[in-house]
A and B are shown apart, each in its own frame.
Chain A
Amino acid sequence: MSVREIFKSMEYGPAPETAKIAEAWLANNKKKFDNFIAAKFVKPNSKEYFETINPATGKVLAKVAKANDKDVDKAVKAARLAFAPWASLPGHARAKYLYAIARHIQKHSRLLSVIETLDNGKPIRETRDIDIPLVARHFYYHAGWAQLDDEFADYEALGVVGQIIPWNFPLLMLAWKIAPALAAGNTVVLKPAELTPLSAMLFSQICQEVGLPAGVVNIVNGYGDTGAEIVNHPDINKIAFTGSTEVGRIIRKATAGSGKKISLELGGKSPFIVFEDADIESAIEGVVDAIYFNQGQVCCAGSRLLLQEGIAKEFHKKLKIRMAKLRLGNPLDKAIDIGAIIDPVQLERISGLCEIGKSEGSICWQPELDLPKEGSFFLPTLFENVSPASTVAQEEIFGPVLVSMTFRTPTEAVQLANNTRYGLAASVWTENVNLALDIAPQIKAGIVWVNSTNLFDAASGFGGYRESGFGREGGKEGMFEYLKAVWEKDLKQTKASAKITEAKIFPDSNPEIKIDRTPKIYIAGKQKRPDSGYSYPILNPKGELVAEAALGNRKDIRNAVEAARKSEGWGKATAHNRAQVLYFIAENLSARSNEFKERLLDMTGVSAKQASWEVEKSIERIFYYAAWADKYDGAVHSTPMRNVTLAMLEPFGILAISAPVQNPLLSFISLLMPAIAMANRVIISPSELYPLAVTDLYQVFDTSDLPDGVVNIVTGKQDELADTMAKHDEIAAMWYFGSKQGSKLVERESVGNLKAIWVNNGKDYDFFDNKIGQGKEYLRRATQVKNIWVPYGE
């Protein structure tokens, strides 16, 4: 086109980034990549290679080795061999390696950007300005944590970590996984997504360049079956996964009972809420960043637009004008907003869901943009006339498709925002700080962006609530995903496995001469008969009947959860207020300490000294968590922009606890108190064999201003009750302290809502030992971190 014509038309022309150097890099590697094991590129045992494609052109970029079980095993062995020397390096030495990686990422930043764009199809603007700078930042930040290993003095590395990452941010997800793992002293076997392996191969070469010790980072390629080999490998200590909720469930199930720690960062259907007083033009720009960023293939994409009714019409009108200005096409073009969809299969899925949306009566709007003739592209899409029940409002589409709904009041906005199984992120637009800071804590999501969206930084934790997974990546909170308390390795397998037998269960009877005391279950602050109408005998070690306890069943758990659900007030009570209630419980327990001591003597047959020690220790422990109630709090993260990033600690909501058999009073108190101190409402099953120490507590609770429904106690068979708890979708987190088998059961059955799980794997926790029986580990397990980004400036 001539200068003269352009002068008249004032159109944009092509502005392509050159791919020459990237192509040369591919050619130098003969367009073929092997697995990276023990610092070397190793041919696959499988002898198979698969192709990786440029989604913008459909052309093959390179062939990549497909790892089978033997290849994975080889990588795990290399990582295991490297683990001890790597973990025992001084923090400063690990920091130097991570720092060097960050430096090399910057040195190769443009090559990495171009490779990423070729392999993934996302615009070069994004890889150049967002992905790769964040990758470097992540390694810098975590070089810092490696250096500051004193901050984690009571913790140690887990061992070999298996990591499986998605295709939407290939290198960034690699960085999110590898940087904290290495900083904490772990070694890694990572599998990139089969659709986007190339930047990980370039990263492998960077590991060679910086002289990272062999085996610290191992990268194997392949499909889901290769991932499964990692997940199921017996010598892996932790699995970190980012991807679909569906695969997250498979991993949860597969690792159940294995003792592997897992963290899952899964899907989302994040709300983008605009109140009528928002800066509308800016909010519209926010929508562009929320759903048309990376072709909408973002787990935290703001895909549900919630507009206050009065502005909806105007907003749609302006949004459509903005959408028509988006530029779609060659991702290597520097003036392109929307690149290619990763794969024809994904493209088909997006189209399919849009068809369903239309058939359900929603109105589909797309601007008239030119679509490239080849490659996988999808127009930016807006669905109007959508209701919460629409498929497109419920399903994660993972494409540039926005669904729009309206609300009338802030309360309704929250209700709609939370009307999803997911809970990854949210965006809230209003100029009213009161409104913003009122709404943000009410949204069930791990990240809330106020007047902004899709902001990321290594200093801020990222991760979800609900079926968006658990665990955080980034921030200090993220480091704990790769660490364990040093005392964990000294825990022994429990011997206490006594169980009540079916034969001994008999209907209510009244054999004693004394006035009968029938311990019931405790729901909503009331003692209730169990639904089953059965009791079971509590025997002392001599086999004599002490009393009968209520045999709770699944309906009692259901009722307990109902009661807990209604006691929302506890979550809103001030920390000071909660502390006061805990202190009051301690005070009232102390007043009746003799009675509890007698009960323990009668029931468990321990020595008098031991019994009174258990009561004293329980009182001390209540004090301990009362003390923490208003001190274990969040942080303001230093993210690199003008904002406050509030890392708020929030309760899970409804937390279920399955307490162990031994030390029935102390174990119960040690698990319950941190949970309620952090504002959770609890369903708890006490020691199966010795529940009476706990049933006596009902009156203590009744006299201690503990609101009804905050603590709900169901006695009975531990694993039967735990099974129901694990399967209950309203329970957001669960702690199980019982048998190894029970631990497996709970982990396996938690897949329904992917609740956060803490199990003892059949190990004995000595609750008399302060180092093990109390501490921040309990508080951390009782809370989830929500990062709220609040940019400011008038």
Chain B
Amino acid sequence: MNLKNSNIIGHKRNTGIPLDLSLIEDVAVNRSAIERRAATLTTRRSVKKEWQAAWLLKAISCMDLTTLAGDDTSERVKRLCAKAKQPVRQDILEELGMAKENITVAAVCVYPTMVATAVKALEGTNIPVASVATGFPSGLMPLELRLAEIKYAVKAGAKEIDIVITREHVLTQNWQALYDEIAAFREAVDEAHLKTILATGELGTLRNAYKASMVAMMAGADFIKTSTGKEKLNATLPVSLVMVRAIKDYLELTGFKIGYKPAGGISTAKDALAWLILIKEELANDWLTKDMFRFGASSLLGDIERQLEHYLTARYSASFRHPVA
């Protein structure tokens, strides 16, 4: 059964297209102008009061609640899954009139060996488990092992695979190699969704970030994602602007809508709003759903919970008032 082109996330899944170097050869990405736009996105738009509360809940619903640490244990992952099911205190949701909306995070993101645990912990919910793979975070593992890792995670029940690319292919402009690699990953994930981590903080330039985004989409990525969270420089608004503009270009060219996931360093409610504004302004409201947009975050939720309580009480909240993961 070929599910590659199935309509499982509400729109036509990206099949990829043959590598077309003309789409990236003369691409123009003006860093200064990009930075100016990024800097004024959040000064041009402001979301307050009930709008802010609603937007922050949206941020939660688009969140890949993540733990990717060397000291992860089964119990730790179970706790995280419990939090994923109930990210916001029930009384807060009730007061917001959202108690019946089934507010959960979008997915739980873990290492491959933790997938089975997470899947079990999330049984009976609609929350998928996402697994990193392909030698996360550096990706410097033999291809067979990376492909095997993907298959392992899929078999364990991961519905989404966050793969990392070989940065060398970008830094040496070896687009064919990058394309082939991602296409192979896409083949390997089968029904699961392929989220392609570009590790933009290690690609050197915004121009490279654009080119890598385009190649990833041509190779069949369902999502493109900024970072592993382990690079020195993770998600930034300027790089996001470049990547979502690539998504826009790819849509125009092929009709495929690609999802976007900034990850790493997004830790405040204010950050979350900034990214939502960016997506709304540069793409469209269509992207403001968990099918098209994700935050990769581990500590963001805590800040959002405090902000939500503040909205309701007009008092600044303390972190210990909200259950930890």
Contacts and interface: CB of A to CB of B under 8 A. Distances in A.
Asked if A and B bind, the verdict is yes
A451 B33 contact: yes
Given A3-B50, A794-B205, A125 B98 contact: no
Q: Output the residue of B36, B206, B281 with the most chain A CB within 10 A.
A: B36
B55 A6 contact: yes
Contacts of A792: 32
Contacts of B51: 1, 6, 11-13, 15
B155 interface: no
Contacts of A282: 28-30, 33-34, 37
Interface string B29-54: 11111111100100111111111011
A281 to B, nearest CB: 5
A325 B248 CA distance: 15
Interface stretch (A272-280, A407-415, A501-509): A272-280
B97 interface: yes
Contacts of A13: 47-51
Contacts of B35: 793
Nearest to A282: B33
Contact of B101 (A7, A125, A278, A452): A7
Interface string B262-285: 000000000000001000110001
A329 to B, nearest CB: 13
Contacts of B54: 3-7, 10
A10 B32 contact: no
B245 interface: yes
A28 interface: no
B36 A452 contact: yes
Contacts of B57: 3, 7
Given A10-B58, A794-B207, A3 B46 contact: no
B82 interface: no
Given A10-B280, A431-B28, A281 B50 contact: no
B41 to A, nearest CB: 10
Contact of A12 (B30, B47, B97, B98): B47
Contacts of A278: 28, 30
Contacts of A720: none
A279 B55 CA distance: 31
A643 B33 CA distance: 11
Contacts, number: 102
Given A7-B57, A452-B36, A281 B96 contact: no
Contacts of A125: 43-44
Interface string B108-143: 000000000000000000000000000000000000
Contacts of B36: 285, 452
A556 B166 CA distance: 74
Given A3-B98, A10-B280, A794-B205, A335 B44 contact: yes
A194 interface: no
B288 interface: yes
A697 to B, nearest CB: 51
Most buried by B among A125, A285, A642: A285
Contacts of A791: 32-33
Contacts of A461: none
B75 interface: no
A154 interface: no
A280 B246 CA distance: 12
Nearest to A4: B97
Contact of A279 (B29, B44, B96, B276): B29
B96 A12 contact: no
A155 B4 CA distance: 78
Interface in A311-362: 325, 334-335, 337
A280 B34 CA distance: 11
B15 to A, nearest CB: 25
Contacts of A15: 46-48, 51
B50 A279 contact: no
Interface string B240-269: 000001000000000000000000000000
B43 A642 contact: no
Interface string B20-33: 00000010111111
A7 B53 CA distance: 9
Nearest to B208: A794
Contacts of A281: 245
Contacts of A452: 32-33, 36
Contact of B32 (A11, A334, A337, A643): A643
A794 to B, nearest CB: 5
A709 interface: no
Contacts of B46: 15, 334-335
A794 B55 contact: no
A2 B50 contact: yes
Contacts of B97: 2-4
Contacts of B32: 451-452, 642-643, 791-793
A6 B43 CA distance: 21
A129 interface: yes
Interface in A750-794: 791-794
B105 to A, nearest CB: 15
Interface in A642-656: 642-643
Interface string A473-495: 00000000000000000000000
A671 B53 CA distance: 71
Contacts of A14: 48
A16 to B, nearest CB: 8
Nearest to B100: A4
Contacts of B34: 279, 282
A286 interface: yes
Contacts of A4: 54, 97-98, 101
Interface in A434-461: 451-452
A7 B30 contact: no
Contact of A285 (B37, B98, B205): B37
B31 A793 contact: yes
B26 to A, nearest CB: 7
Interface string B197-224: 0000000011100000000000000000
A277 B33 contact: no
B98 A10 contact: no
A664 to B, nearest CB: 54
A277 B44 contact: no
B212 to A, nearest CB: 15
Contacts of B206: 794
| 6 tightest A-B CB contacts, nearest first | A791-B32, A6-B54, A282-B33, A13-B51, A15-B46, A279-B30
Given A3-B57, A4-B101, A282-B28, 19 more contacts: A2-B97, A3-B96, A6-B53, A7-B57, A7-B98, A10-B285, A12-B45, A13-B47, A13-B50, A14-B48, A279-B28, A282-B37, A285-B33, A334-B45, A431-B30, A793-B31, A793-B32, A794-B31, A794-B206
Interface of B: 26, 28-37, 40, 43-51, 53-55, 57-58, 96-98, 101, 205-207, 245, 276, 280-281, 285, 288
Interface of A: 1-7, 9-15, 125, 129, 277-283, 285-286, 325, 334-335, 337, 431, 451-452, 642-643, 791-794
14 contacts: A2-B50, A3-B96, A7-B57, A11-B51, A13-B49, A15-B51, A278-B30, A279-B28, A279-B30, A286-B33, A334-B45, A452-B32, A791-B33, A794-B207
